[in-house]
Structure 1
Amino acid sequence: MKLRTFAAVIVSAFFAVSCAVHAQENNELLIDDFEAEISGGENGTVDFGAGNDSKVEVKASKEIKQHGEQALEVKFDAIAGGYMWVARGYDLTVKGAGCWLVKPEEIDFTKYNALAVYMYGANTGTQIAIDIVDNGSEYWRYLIDDDFTGWKELVIPFADFFARGDWQPEKADKNGELNFPIKVFQFEPKSEAKGTLYFDNVRLVKK
């Protein structure tokens, strides 16, 4: 009798956890899991680069990952006065970077109010910029301190992004309004720092 009771408790706990995980998945929309090919260059799948003597390299990491078979690895050396970017999305110079699991025009953004991503910190002490690009090609930014080591989930409300004042492309409408759909996300370690970061599972979070 006791064995049956114990088994019933285990089964109930299993279904409770399963339901919780299922509910969490239903509350989010996975847009990029970095499971496919990660490569650079004109025909690559990541639009990345650096300037003014800063350096950045990207590749797939199969050793350090939050979910699935691999994560995005970003090795960087950010110096004073330099800049860099690591982007995935649409209307970029590298067309192959437009490989989200769901295309922006297929997403009902009225149902979502935040961007979520897992980041594996390097504890460099610098700031990491997380940018999104709206439908008017305007760049919006959020800054996170790289003051931790290991995986951390970042959930960033759209309302916490601010329009970049340091740079905008010429084609940006610069209207100061976050116009949906969002079509790009990108990461930029700020100067002065050197290290390796990892990113995984970029999602939209429902209201």
Structure 2
Amino acid sequence: MRILYIVLILSLSMASQCCAQNQGQSLLLDDFEGPISGGPEGTVDFGAGNGSSVEVTAAQDIKYSGNQSLKAVYDAVSGGYMYMARGFGLDAKNTAWLVKPEDIDWSKYKAFTFFVFGSDSKTQVAFDIRDNGNEMWRFSFEDNFKGWKKIVCPFNMFFARDDWQPNNADNNLTLDFPIKVFQFEPRPQAQGTLYFDCVELE
């Protein structure tokens, strides 16, 4: 009995060390827990135009962790656009991450990561970020898998968008930290449903 007790204590200790190590390697920015809503008081700044459409809600049935994920039902038509954004300085008031950008030591991290529940739709999905100079940067991936997959977006693989930039962007072609916003955009032409969860820095 004494031996079993010692083994149990050692196992718990090793598990705690693994958890601590994982926490040291990554920083959770957003888990999409809590109410998901749009509009001026919303928790997600989302919209679409030029014929495209998107509806953003919480999904409790399909989630990677916690109680829910972010669900996007989209129809991306040729010439259209859409966005689903979280962060700071957006039109919606309650879109903040779990951590403020200025409180992050960005030099410790090399990539954004998140989990996507795909359907092998072959949809091209853009993951955009807005830097400290309001310049928009893009990383793209394809929904060529089924179920949950971790997407890794190294900082050095982002490129400055040449199709659109905010009016107040400095357009200096330098990724300036801290990053203030991230957003998802399924690209035309495509329609379907995607689920997102657990946005982190690694």
2:72 to 57, 71, 74: 74
Give the secondary-structure state (helix, strand or coil) at the position aligned to 1:85.
Answer: strand
Q: 2:100 aligns with which of 84, 99, 103?
A: 103
Question: Which of the numbers 46, 49, 70 marks the counterpart of 1:48?
Answer: 46
Letter in 2 for 1:188: E
**With structure 1 as the length reference, what TM-score do the two structures score?**
0.91
Q: Deviations over 1:114-147 (max 9, x none)?
A: 1111111121112100011000000000000111
The residue number in structure 2 matching 1:65 is 63
Q: What code does the residue aligned with 1:35 have?
A: E
Tell me by how many angstroms 1:21 deviates.
Answer: 2.7
- TM-aligned CA deviation for residue 71 of structure 1: 0.8
CA distance in 1, matches of 2:99, 2:9: 35
User: Once the 2 structures are TM-superposed, how far is the Cα of residue 43 of structure 1 from its aligned partner?
Assistant: 1.1
Give the aligned CA root-mean-square deviation in angstroms: 1.6
The aligned residue for residue 167 of structure 1 is 164
- The aligned residue for residue 22 of structure 2 is 24
For 2:154 and 2:11, locate their aligned partners in 1 and report how far apart those are by CA, in whole Å: 32
For residues 26 and 162 of structure 1, what CA distance do their matches in structure 2 show?
28
Code of the residue aligned with 2:188 in structure 1: it is S
Question: Counterparts of 1:204 and 1:34 in 2: how far apart (Å)?
Answer: 15
Question: Percentage identity across aligned positions?
Answer: 52
- 1:176 maps to which residue? 173
Unaligned runs of 5+ in 2: none
Whole-Å separation in 2 of the counterparts to 1:145 and 1:8 = 48
- More deviation in 3-12 or 19-28? 3-12
Code of the aligned partner of 1:160: M
Q: Secondary structure at the match of 1:187?
A: strand
Q: Which runs of 5+ in 1 are unaligned?
A: none
